Chain A
Amino acid sequence: MDHERAQSLFMSYHDAELPAREVEALEAHLAQCTECSLAWQGYKAAVEEISGLLKVTPAPDFSKRVQQAIGRRSRGRFFSESSDSGGLGIAIVSVILVLVFALLYLLIATSGEVKVVDPGASSDPKGAASP
C-alpha cells in the first residue's frame, strides 16, 4: 500500500466502514510508515476537536421573539394570508404612485417651460429694437 492510498482510506477507517481486509493492510502500513502515521494522528485529532466544539444555543427569549416576529409580519393572522406579498404589494403601489406623480410634475413643468420660453423668444426682437 502506498501513502496516497493509505491516506485516502482515513475517512472510512475513522467511520469504521472499512472492510476487515483493508483495515489490516492500512494498520500494517501505519505501523511502518511515520508519514502516514502522523497524518492519521492529525486527521483523527482534527475530527475530534471539531466534534468537541461547544454547542451554542440562542438566548432564552428566542422562541418568544420568533412568535412576536410572526405576529408582526402576519398582522396577528399567523400567515393565514400571504402577509409578505401583502407588504410587497403596498410597496409596489407606493412606488407606482410616486412615479405617476413625478411624471405628472414633469409634464406640467415642461409645458410651463414652453410658455415661459415663448414670450422670451418673441420679446427678443423687441429687446433688440428698444435701445
Chain B
Amino acid sequence: METRLEKKLIKRLQAREPKAFDQLVLLFQGQVYNFVFRMLGSTAEAEDLAQEVFISVFKHIDAFRGESSLATWIYRIAANHVKNRRKYHGRRPYDRPLQSASALDPGRSGEGAVLGAGQVSRPDEMVEGLQLERILQEAILALDEEHRMVLVLRDVQNESYDVISEVTGLPLGTVKSRLHRARLALKEALEERTR
C-alpha cells in the first residue's frame, strides 16, 4: 500500500511536474539498476534497460492505482522489461558479456558506480573479492530466469516474500520453493567453482 508521501509524489507525477520525475528517478534508480544488472549481468544492458523502465513508469503513471506500493509497481515494470529483453534476444543469459560489479570504473561516464558493502583496502583481499563477485554473478546468471528473479529479489534486493509474490504474480508457496531450489543450485555452483 502507498504511504502519504508516496501519494503526494504520485499526484505530482501525474501532473507532469519535472521535479517530481527527477525525484522519482533518484529515489528508485538504485533499486532498478541493481535489479536489472543482477538479472542481466551487463552494465551496458542494465543502463539501457533501467532507462526504459523509467520511461515506462512515466508513460503509465496515470494508470497507477495505488493497489501496491510504488516500489512494487516499478519492480513489476522492471521484471517485464527483463523478460521481454530475454525474449527479444532469445539467448541464454551466460551467452552475453559478463561483467562483475567490481570490474566497473566509477569514474567513467555512462558506466555504473559501485557503492561497496564489500569494499576492501588490501590488494590481495580485493583480488579475492573480485573473484568471488565474478563467481557469484556467473552462478546467478546460470540459474533459469524464474529462479534467478526470485533469488535476486530476495537475497540481493532483500525484498519480502509478499513483495516478491506481487512482483512475480506467483503464490507464496511457489516463491518459497523456487527460492529454496535457487539457493541449493547456487550453493552447488559455488562449491563446484571454489573446490
Q: Is the CB of B183 within 8 A of A56?
A: no
Count CB-based A-B contacts (< 8 Å).
125
Q: Which of A54-69 contact B (CB under 8 A)?
A: 54-63, 65-67, 69
Size of B's binding interface in residues, CB under 8 A: 53
Q: Is the CB of A56 within 8 A of B55?
A: no
Q: Is the CB of A47 within 8 A of B55?
A: no
Q: Is the CB of A69 within 8 A of B51?
A: yes
* Residue positions of A touching B, CB distance < 8 A: 8, 10-11, 42-43, 45-47, 49-63, 65-67, 69-70, 73, 78-80, 84
Starting from the known contacts A56-B37, A69-B51, 13 additional A-B residue pairs (CB-CB under 8 Å) come to A11-B176, A42-B191, A43-B187, A45-B190, A49-B136, A49-B190, A50-B140, A56-B43, A58-B46, A59-B112, A61-B109, A63-B29, A70-B55
Contacts of A10 in B (CB 8 A): 180, 183
**Chain A minimum-CB-distance residue to B21:** A67
Consensus secondary structure, chain A interface: helix
Q: Is the CB of A59 within 8 A of B113?
A: yes
12 A-B pairs within 8 Å (CB atoms) are namely: A42-B190, A43-B183, A52-B118, A53-B101, A53-B118, A55-B114, A56-B33, A56-B114, A58-B50, A63-B26, A66-B21, A79-B58
Once the chains are docked, how many angstroms separate the CA of A87 from the CA of B27? Answer: 30
Q: Is the CB of A54 within 8 A of B50?
A: no
* Residue positions of B touching A, CB distance < 8 A: 16, 18, 21-22, 25-26, 29-30, 33-34, 37-38, 43, 46-47, 50-51, 54-55, 58-59, 101-102, 104, 109-119, 132-133, 136-137, 140, 151, 155-156, 158, 176, 179-180, 183-184, 186-187, 190-191
Contacts of B136 in A (CB 8 A): 49-50, 53
Contacts of B140 in A (CB 8 A): 50
Closest-CB distance, B93 to chain A (whole angstroms): 16
Closest-CB distance, B77 to chain A (whole angstroms): 14
Q: Is the CB of A54 within 8 A of B101?
A: yes
Q: Is the CB of A47 within 8 A of B155?
A: yes
Contacts of B190 in A (CB 8 A): 42, 45-46, 49
